[in-house]
Amino acid sequence: MIDLGVELSNSTLITSKTDLQGRIVYCNKDFIQYSGFSEQEVFGKPHNIVRHKDMPRAVFKTLWKYIKNGEEVFAFVKNKTKNGQHYWVLANVTPSLDSNNNTIGYYSVRRKPNPKAIEKIIPVYASMINAEKTSLEASESILNTILTEKNLPYNEFIFSMQENLI
Ligand SMILES: Cc1cc2nc3c(=O)[nH]c(=O)nc-3n(C[C@H](O)[C@H](O)[C@H](O)COP(=O)(O)O)c2cc1C
């Protein structure tokens, strides 16, 4: 059996807001509950405070590429808790815009991922992490090869996994 960690309930929405550098400026109660950190411990900290070592750098590179380009992005993310456990989420990250369409920060809402999708993404992330011992490009190329094979853009690939279509 694969260890999926702490499971989110169906109604959980783990929410946070960051400044342009990715420092946390807001988080909701679900964020506090699942991460195990207090508000004081996370406010002003970089979002990698919950980063798990099993997450490939190439996934975060993709995430930042989308949001810096003004687009939303979806990702399966394994986060660590303060006490060393982990929880998987399906994250949606969006730029927050002011009335002049300038990006003033970023916003993320995370919900329960489909466990079947997590079982499929775990070996993909493992091979990406392994490739990152050599280079970030090698890791990106693993992801790109899958997207080419499936003939799907990145966000649609994530959706299709969540809906158990692929
Ligand atoms: C709104 C927002 C939410 C984020 N949520 C997470 C998250 O839940 N977990 C995570 O590891 N990184 C998250 N990140 C990405 C981090 O900023 C960072 O890129 C990532 O943790 C990798 O850290 P590193 O670049 O220091 O290795 C988020 C970024 C933004 C802008």
Please report, for the chain, the start and end positions of each structural domain, with discontinuous segments joined by +. 14-162
Give distance in angstroms: CA of 160 to centre of ligand 1. Answer: 23
Q: Mean pLDDT for the chain?
A: 96
pLDDT at 3: 83
Mutate to test the pocket of ligand 1, among 14, 49, 60 (most ligand atoms within 8 A of CB): 60
Positions of the chain with pLDDT under 50: none
Q: Which residues contact 110 (CB under 8 A, 6 or more apart)?
A: 8, 13, 14, 15, 77, 89, 90, 91, 92
Atom of ligand 1 lying closest to residue 16 CA: 1
The token duo for 123 is: 């070996």
pLDDT at 149: 97
pLDDT at 38: 96
Residue 23 Cβ contacting ligand 1 at under 6 Å:
no
The residue count for the chain: 166
pLDDT at 2: 77
CB 115 within 8 A of CB 1: no
Alpha-carbon distance of 17 to 113, in angstroms, equals 20
Characterize the bridge pairing of strands 24-27 and 73-80. Answer: unpaired
What's the CATH number for 14-162?
Answer: 3.30.450.20
Residue 35 Cβ contacting ligand 1 at under 6 Å:
no
Give distance in angstroms: CA of 108 to centre of ligand 1. Answer: 10
Distances (CA, A) of 116 to 44, 107, 112, 157: 35, 26, 12, 14
pLDDT at 48: 96
Give distance in angstroms: CA of 57 to centre of ligand 1. Answer: 10
